[in-house]
């Protein structure tokens, strides 16, 4: 049997309702073989039982995590078990089109400098594919704010150009293992474990770019995403849990500490400073619960500075 060049890592938590569609889409990929690893973060529904009984992909490697380690540690655990030269991080609530992996691999293999590739992600709405964009890659403004390019726009072909881009959403990203090894904080820590959840994909993308690697957006690789987590727009913030808001605020400051050089900081300061002041003012007026994470954020800054990738 040919060894799989691609390892696909799925992190699950109470994911039973999403998995049949995802696994079926993996089974139909034109690119084969694919090593599939599922890390279950202590689901309390029927996820584990369903995975043990399903016959769509009988060779899945199931890792039962006794606790919910959230996104960073959970995915790192799956990546540690992977054998492939390339690793695809895959949210539990996405569906791949038949050529997704093939097209992503083709782009990655165009140059050894290509370390991270993502496709055009469209929304699954009530379980059905739509023409609404979820993410056409991550872009970063001069203020240091990173967003999903095109999110909520109708897909009319405006993002159909394959091109280098700042980053790729962690919902679906293909990574070169050898590049990951050069930027790991310690063996087995590719996503920053301190982040726990939120903005780890921005951090990983930025670290790869800082190390001299290329990050690519490949629009011919189509993925559909249900995005079961809450939206990230300001309008929806009251609906997000206080923990999510706090982690997002903390991790944003940490990734700036880890990745901004002194020169970049000076260049961005006219936009970054007003943005950060506005965020702090909003938290003081409307989100007091977020302020409770500030002491932890400040205490963690020396650790983030220690993790900075030294460029060669």
Task: Express each pLDDT in 244-266 by its tens digit.
Answer: 899 999 999 999 999 999 999 99
d(CA 250, CA 291): 10
Averaged pLDDT, 70-75: 95
Domain ranges for the chain: 6-225, 234-306
Three-state secondary structure call for residue 1: coil
Would you say residue 73 has pLDDT above 90? yes
Banded pLDDT at 237 (limits 50, 70, 90): very low
pTM above 0.85, yes or no: yes
Task: Express each pLDDT in 260-299 by its tens digit.
Answer: 999 999 999 999 999 999 999 999 998 888 899 999 999 9
Three-state secondary structure call for residue 133: strand
Task: Express each pLDDT in 90-112 by its tens digit.
Answer: 999 999 999 999 999 999 999 99
CA end-to-end distance (rounded Å), the chain: 40
The two tokens of residue 139 are 């872009």
DSSP structure class, residue 78: H
**Residue pair 20/51 in contact by the 8 Å Cβ criterion:** no
Q: Where are the beta strands (DSSP E) in 66-143?
A: 86-91, 94-96, 114-125, 128-135, 138-140
Rounded to 10°, the helix 200-210/242-259 angle is 10
Q: How is domain 6-225 classified at the architecture level of CATH?
A: Alpha-Beta Complex (3.90)
């Amino acid at each position: 049997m040919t060894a799989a060049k691609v390892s696909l890592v799925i992190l699950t938590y109470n994911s039973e309702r999403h998995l049949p569609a995802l696994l079926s889409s993996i089974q139909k990929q034109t690119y084969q073989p694919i090593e599939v690893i599922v890390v279950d973060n202590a689901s309390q529904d029927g996820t584990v039982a369903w995975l043990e009984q399903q016959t769509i992909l009988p060779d899945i490697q199931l890792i039962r995590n006794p606790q919910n380690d959230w996104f960073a540690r959970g995915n790192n655990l799956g990546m540690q078990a992977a054998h492939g030269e390339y690793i695809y991080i895959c949210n539990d609530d996405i569906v791949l089109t038949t050529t997704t992996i093939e097209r992503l691999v083709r782009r990655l293999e165009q140059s050894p400098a290509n370390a991270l590739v993502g496709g055009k992600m469209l929304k699954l709405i009530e379980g059905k594919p739509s023409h609404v964009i979820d993410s056409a890659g991550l872009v970063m403004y001069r203020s240091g704010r990173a967003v999903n390019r095109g999110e909520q726009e109708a897909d009319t072909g405006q993002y159909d150009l394959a091109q280098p881009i700042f980053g790729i959403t962690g919902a679906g990203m293909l990574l070169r293992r050898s590049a990951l090894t050069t930027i790991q904080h310690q063996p087995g820590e590719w996503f920053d474990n301190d982040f726990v959840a939120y903005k780890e994909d921005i951090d990983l993308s930025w670290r790869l770019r800082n190390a001299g690697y290329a990050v690519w957006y490949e629009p011919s690789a189509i993925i559909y995403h249900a995005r079961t987590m809450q939206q990230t727009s300001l309008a929806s913030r009251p609906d997000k849990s206080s923990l999510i808001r706090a982690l997002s605020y903390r991790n944003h400051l940490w990734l700036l500490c880890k990745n901004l050089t002194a020169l970049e900081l000076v260049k961005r300061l006219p936009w970054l400073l007003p943005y950060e002041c506005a965020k702090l003012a909003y938290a003081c007026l409307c989100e007091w619960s977020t302020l409770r994470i500030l002491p932890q954020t400040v205490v963690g800054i020396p650790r983030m500075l220690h993790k900075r990738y030294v460029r060669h």
